Structure formats: structure tokens, C-alpha cells
Structure 1
Amino acid sequence: MQKVQKAQKLPKVPKVLLIEADVSAGEDLLTAAAEIGVEAHVATHEDVFRSYRPELKERITGTVFTDFADPETALDDLVRFCRETGIDGVVACWEFLSPLATRLADRLGLPGHRPELADACRNKRLMAEAFTAFGVPAPRTVVAGDPGELARRVAESGLGFPLVVKPAENAASIGVSVVRSAAELPRAALLAQSQTHKTSHGLALDTTLLAQEHVDGEEYSVESVICDGEIHHLTVTEKFTTGGTSRAELGHTVPADTTPAVGTALYAAATAAIRALGLRNGVAHTEVKVSTGGAPKVIEVGARPPGDHIMRLVKEALGIDEARAYLQTVLGLRPDVAPRRATAAAIRFITAPEAGVLRWTSALPSGDHVVATAMSRMPGDEVGGPYDNMGRIGQIMLRGATAAEVNKVAAEAMDSITVEMATQW
């Protein structure tokens, strides 16, 4: 009698849902998914998806369209899609949707963060309350609903100037200003409350005003992967920003050129902040300033991948693929966070000296230290000034043997670039 051979059951291909992949980390996550054999599905809005670049679309297995401006309906839509599709992990790509990602993972019983603290990972008012409750070293903060109340609360608090005024919800330094006297508070409050909805999804923003003590010192971020509550700090990133009344980010270097003692203090502060916000499975981008006296103060934490191509810097400098580690974590796997080399990488952003129409830029530098260059604005385009991260017109990524070396070649590269604006008559 002929034996009937049983069909061999193929192992299930893991599937993840990326919530809004059209961000700087999206391409890295889609690339990592393809490399480790994971199906990448994307949640977005149909109108937004039309503007996705072809190289993003070709790496996406499937899409689900929803309206993120209606969080409850979006959550129901995504729960239904994930159950029908067999999604195994939820990835927060865009910080404005990290609370939704946390709630979705919880509803599905997948690895994620503590859902009761989901909003505190995005809303800076709630984040400041969590930091205070858990004793996280952070700037003192007062909260107000309007400019008049802000002035009263600042006066009553005893906070001295300068202060940092910002909205409870926004990103990319939008609405943030440094205030040096009470007379400047109304203008700062107006700026902080000028954006009420976030494009391109029309998300309503909490425009509650925050005034925080100004920490005078160097700025860093700590890049971390968290698996079942175990925190793996990958590196410290050095941040370069504008001075004056604005705080636009001009570039980043990985790893930071700092002392071991400062690095240890930064990791301790980031650990405290991550635990206070209930982050359990995923990644964290913790922004910290170190005062001239050496004490770290946590500014905020993002429960999502770092922006500005920092994940690429981590990979270039240390050989750690943070995007892959993130996917492994949300799939319930042990993340690969072992460094494979000890070099350095940097990115610097080209900005216009003032808002207006871009006339001309000189050729971007090339050479052994240059990894990649790109222009995001062309001659004839209207551009913003160097007041927040929306005023960038291009970027250059570099490599070096050490942080000191890459900072040096980055400074030389930026000095070689000329930007001309059209004359306004």
C-alpha cells in the first residue's frame, strides 16, 4: 500500500503593523523587516498613503486606512484589521500615535507598554506629572491654560528666568521658546498655542502651556531598547542646537564625546524616566540636559524610534541595528543589541539663515568621511528660518574613528556650504 506523505506545515511568517511609516524611521523599519523575513503592514490614512515614496510602498505587504483624528474609531479599525490579518507585533513609528500603538498592543495581548500611562508618553503635561510622582530628575514645571494664567503661575511658583515655554503636545521644537523676562511671556504663549492640529492627519493637539526651568548645559539623548521591562541603553547621542530664543536641532553625533561619569549619570536618568512612564516592550528616545554643575535633567521621553536618522547613526557608528531590535522586541523575541564596532557617526542639518525664498546653495562636500548628502528644498522654494526643525533645507551624514574626529570633519563640512536667499523687495 502506498504511503501518503503528510504535507509539512510551514512556519508562520511573523507580521507587524507599523503605525504611520511615512517618517524618518519608517524606511529603516521596513528595511529591517525585509531583512529578517517579517511581513510589514502599515496603518495610515488613504490621502497620506498617496504621497508615500515608491521605495516605501514597494516594501509594504499590506495597508489599513483609518482616521487617526478619531482615536476610538481608529483603535477599533486597527484591532479588527490585526485580528483578521494575524498581526504579531505593533510598532509606533510616529510619536503622535504612540498612545494608540500602546492601546492597540494591549487590546491584542501583544508586547507593549503599560496602557494606563500611554498618554503620558506623548503629552508633556502628563509626563511632567509622572516624573514628579516618581522622583525623576527633571526641570520644575508649571502649567496654565492661557497667557494670563501662565504669568500668574510663574510668579507664584518662584521660578526664575530664563524659562522654557512650550505646548503640552507638539514636536520638532515647534512652539518652543526661551523666555528671559515676564514681559516676553505673552509672545511665547502665543507661539506655543499657535498650532492646534497636527498635519497631515489633522490630530487635535493639547495646547496647554508649560513653563519649565531652563537647564543651562549640554544636551543629549539616550537611545534605548526595552524588552519585558529590561532596559538596554544602546548609546548616548550628542545634540547640537541653536541658541537665543529658539531651540532648533542642528545635528547629532553618536556616540557623544563625553566622560564615563556623565554617561553613567545620563543612563541613570533615562532609566528612571523610562520606568516612570511604564515602558515595557519597545524603544525609547530620552532627551536629557546636563547642567554646568553636572546634574542631568530629563526633558522628555519619546516611546518611539528617534527621528533625524539617529538609528542610522547608531548602526553606522556601533553596528547595532536599532530598527531590527525594535521589531524583535514587539514580536516577543530577544533583541540583538550587541555592538559590533566602536566608531562614530554624525548628521548635520543645513538651514537657511532666515525665512524666505531659497536662491542657491553651493555644492555639498564629498570625501572619505561623507556617508550621504541630501537636499530637501530646491532653489525657488519657500523655506523657514532657523527657529525649529521645519526650517531645514538639507543634510549631510559623516563617519569618523572617534566622536572628536567626526565632530571636527562635520564642522569643516558645514563651513564649506554657502546658502543664499533671494533678495526681498
Structure 2
Amino acid sequence: MRNQAFILFGGYTRSLYHHFIPLLIKMGMKVLVIDLPGSESLRNDAGWEPGMVEAVFCDGEDLPTILATCKGWEESYLLQGALNTIEEFTYSSAIAIDYLKLKGPGIKACTIASNKALQRAYFEQWSPAYRYITQREGLPQGCPYPSMLKATNRHGGSGVIRVNSEAEALVALSSFEPDERLNFEEYVVGSDFSIETIVSDGEIVFQSLTEEDNLYSNGYHMEMGYNIPAVGFEPALIEKAYDINRRVHEGMGFQYGTSHAEYRITQSGEIRLIEIAARPPGDGIFALYQLSTGKLIEESVLASVMGREASYPLPLRYTKQTWLRHEPGILQGIDHPHEGVEINYFPESKRHPREYSFDAAQPPTLREIVLEHRKGEQLGEMAGQGSRLGWVIIDAPSPQLLARGTEEFLDTIKVSMGEA
């Protein structure tokens, strides 16, 4: 008799904060991971257990290997579902899920999600003004500044540069390959947010707005914090955003699973789509949902792609992930006075326990301090997502107490940098 199994694309790479593998093992399923070469070092943090996880490693574009692997697994196991968790497998996972006749976002949805130019074309009414160019073609004439250069097929903030003049744009353009496809688009001034969405049979069963803190440094866009639930937007604007988000998903033909869409509200109250991904969010957003509701949102995501009833409660407790700032130099370490809060140098530990207790009335609490770099590593100026030092996660029973607690906790965390 064949055992039940579930295919998880990017299951090791997306280990930080996601609980997909432990949940699937708890359901009694074999977890079949397809992930990038080099990701096996993260398997313990992802919840790997001997005999319960099988893994194959390949590039996201390697469809022959992916389809052959899936065909073999289909013959060996009773497949209950599949889910992609990282950008590299967005398109190939959609092909594999369709081939296996399982439930997922759909090939159309994933094709649009994997290409920023397609997102602009399909959703022009909510997009900034843009032109489609390459380095070889050069800059369009008569463009306003500031503007954005965005590589259409990259992700995670890579290839996204703000330019304030034609001279800056020419310098930025030279950093791309001659024929790499780029969006040259209007820079929209406003406040950023994301919407996390769960879809079942083409219907949105959950959507929630996450307030973002962003920083532009040396021309690079960096996400520097998240707040769940959002407190900086009026209810009418949030409902307007939800309506646009629903229409975007309808336009994509999104069928099952979860998405992470990023938007911006302009100073005049207009909402612009920045980009949408047909996968779970990164960073600590899922951890914030757990702290805010007491429930793992991963359970609802898995239910949706397995064709089961999926729902999730609205956020209740106020939560925040915020990144630490640093000066260039050699990282010597971090000090803080908070008993029971260890400093996790994740590149060394490759382990992240996410066992939170939930109490809606608990006073402001510092949950963790995580660094993305090793002690002794030389850090430069803030320039892109990979240059961020690390973060803290804090929760509180009210937005006022969260703001006060965040300020107090950050004042007590001391980053030590030595001279290069």
C-alpha cells in the first residue's frame, strides 16, 4: 500500500519561520522536497526528520528533472497536494502541479506572478507608468525622475534600483546584462503594505493587510519592518485595497493556495500594485500571524491546496518585526539585558525554534533577536536586502504599547562594530 505524501517546493530554503514540514509530518505524510542546490544545510531548521522527508535538488528552471521526479513520486506515493514556497520554482511548480492534476494557483497565475512586465500589462489600471527596456536599448526619452529600474525576472529585492536623475539611471543601467529585460517605471511616493491572501477554488477565503516600513539607501529598496495588524491606514482605504486585491486575483485566474502582494497608497489615496508573488511571504510575516492569532497560518494554506475547507482568524494581538541598523565595520556582536532572549546568529546556527505562547493580554514582549550575519563578518553600507544586519520580533496587546515597547527594547540592544 502506498503512503500518503505531499510535494513541497523550496521546503528547506524557506525554512525560517515556516512550519510546513512539521505540520505535514504530524498529518502522517511523507514530505517530498524539491529545492535548490546547496539548501540541504537548512533542513534541520525546516523540521526535517529521518525517514519522513525525501529531497531532490535542482535549479528552478530544470523542468525535465522536476517532472521526472514528480512522475516517480506519483508512482510511489498517494500524493495529497503540492505547494511552492520560493520564487525560483514559481513557474516550474505550476507546470508540475498541473501535470500531476493537483490543486495550485494555476499556470496563468504563476506565469503572471513570475514576470513583473506581465503584471504591469495585466493590471495597468493599478500600475505606475512604465516602459519595457533593456540596457542595450538605453533609456527612454523624456522620463520624469525619480524613477525605478526593475529587472522583470528577479525577486527578493534584487535588481530594484531607484534613480533620481538621468545620470544615475545610466550608471544603474550599466549594472544589468545587455539584454536583461527591465521595467523603467515611475517612482510612486506613498506608504507601503502587503496583503497576504489564501484562495480556495478561485475564491478568497482570507486576506489581511500588513503594514510595511521601507528604506531607500544608496538607491536600493529594502523592507525594514512589518506590522500586523496594520494601524496606519483608515478602514475605508483597507477595504479599497481588499477590493483591488480581489480583482487582481480574479485577473490572474488564481485557484488555490496563497499569495503575497505588495501595494503602495499614494499621497492622494490611490492604490498602486508594486508586485505579486504566488507563494507565501518571506521574512517573519507568518511568525507575526502566529503571534497575533495564536494559530499557524500554514495550516490554512495547506488545507487550501489539499482541497479542504480553509479559513483563518483575523489578527488580534499587535505584532512587529523590525530590522536593526548598523554602521559599516566588522560585526563584533550584540548585547542586551533581556533574560531568556538569546541572540540567534542564524548563518551559524541554521536553526530557528518558533515556539510562541499566545496570550492576547500579555505585556509587550521581546520574542527574539536574529542576526543574518556571523560574528567577525565585515558589513558595508545598507545597499539591498542582503546587507541588513538582523531583526527583532515584538508583540503587545495594543498599538500604543507596541510602539512604546519597540522603542524601549531597541534602546537596550547594543550593536558592536569594529573598524575594518
- TM-score bracket for this pair, using the shorter chain length: 0.7 to 0.9
RMSD: 2.6
CA positional deviation for 1:217 = 0.8
Helix, strand or coil at the partner of 1:327: helix
* Matched residue, 1:144: 133
* Matched residue, 1:382: 378
Equivalent residues in 2 for 1:320-359, closer than 5 Å: 320-339=295-314, 342-354=316-328, 356-359=329-332
**Structure 1 residues without counterparts, runs of 5 or longer:** 1-8, 197-205
Contact 1:161 1:179 in 2 (8 A): yes
Contact 1:249 1:388 in 2 (8 A): no
CA displacement 1:251-283 (0-9 Å, x = unmatched): 111011121012112212222222222211000
1:316 paired to 2:298: no
1:299 paired to 2:287: no
Equivalent residues in 2 for 1:3-42, closer than 5 Å: 14-21=4-11, 22-24=13-15, 27-42=18-33
* Matched residue, 1:53: 44
CA displacement 1:110-146 (0-9 Å, x = unmatched): 11123144322112122222223xx4x1212211111
CA displacement 1:204-236 (0-9 Å, x = unmatched): xx9312112111111000011000000133311
CA positional deviation for 1:240 = 0.7
Give me the whole-angstrom Cα distance separating, in 2, the residues matched to 1:46 and 1:173.
21
Cα distance change, pair 106–292 in 1 and its aligned pair in 2 (3 A): same
Opposite residue 16 of structure 1, the aligned amino acid is F
**Structure 2 residues without counterparts, runs of 5 or longer:** 342-362
CA positional deviation for 1:304 = 0.4
Give me the whole-angstrom Cα distance separating, in 1, the residues matched to 2:407 and 2:89.
35
Contact 1:20 1:93 in 2 (8 A): yes
TM-score, normalised by the number of residues in structure 1: 0.84
Cα distance change, pair 368–105 in 1 and its aligned pair in 2 (3 A): same
Structure 1 segments of 4 or more deviating over 6 A? none
Helix, strand or coil at the partner of 2:14: coil
CA positional deviation for 1:54 = 5.8
Equivalent residues in 2 for 1:240-279, closer than 5 Å: 240-244=213-217, 245-257=219-231, 258-279=233-254
* Equivalent of 1:103 in 95, 101, 104: 95
* Matched residue, 1:4: none
* Matched residue, 1:73: 64
Give me the whole-angstrom Cα distance separating, in 1, the residues matched to 2:256 and 2:167.
44
CA displacement 1:317-353 (0-9 Å, x = unmatched): 13343211111111111113234x6111111122433
Contact 1:311 1:322 in 2 (8 A): yes
Identity of counterpart residues, as a percentage? 20
Give me the whole-angstrom Cα distance separating, in 1, the residues matched to 2:46 and 2:106.
34
Contact 2:8 2:32 in 1 (8 A): yes
Contact 2:150 2:182 in 1 (8 A): yes
CA positional deviation for 1:316 = 1.1
1:125 paired to 2:100: no
* Matched residue, 1:392: 388
CA positional deviation for 1:88 = 1.8
Cα distance change, pair 278–26 in 1 and its aligned pair in 2 (3 A): farther
Which deviates more from structure 2 when the two are superposed, residues 42-51 or residues 252-261? 42-51
Contact 1:256 1:403 in 2 (8 A): no
* Matched residue, 2:357: none
Contact 1:44 1:63 in 2 (8 A): no
Give me the whole-angstrom Cα distance separating, in 2, the residues matched to 1:318 and 1:24.
21
Cα distance change, pair 47–362 in 1 and its aligned pair in 2 (3 A): closer
CA positional deviation for 1:404 = 4.0
Give me the whole-angstrom Cα distance separating, in 2, the residues matched to 1:14 and 1:358.
46
1:406 paired to 2:402: yes
Which deviates more from structure 2 when the two are superposed, residues 271-280 or residues 376-385? 376-385
* Matched residue, 2:155: 171
Give me the whole-angstrom Cα distance separating, in 2, the residues matched to 1:325 and 1:59.
26
1:214 paired to 2:183: no
Give me the whole-angstrom Cα distance separating, in 2, the residues matched to 1:189 and 1:372.
39
Cα distance change, pair 261–13 in 1 and its aligned pair in 2 (3 A): farther
Give me the whole-angstrom Cα distance separating, in 1, the residues matched to 2:46 and 2:270.
44
Give me the whole-angstrom Cα distance separating, in 2, the residues matched to 1:169 and 1:217.
24
CA positional deviation for 1:190 = 3.1
Cα distance change, pair 382–86 in 1 and its aligned pair in 2 (3 A): farther
Helix, strand or coil at the partner of 2:79: coil
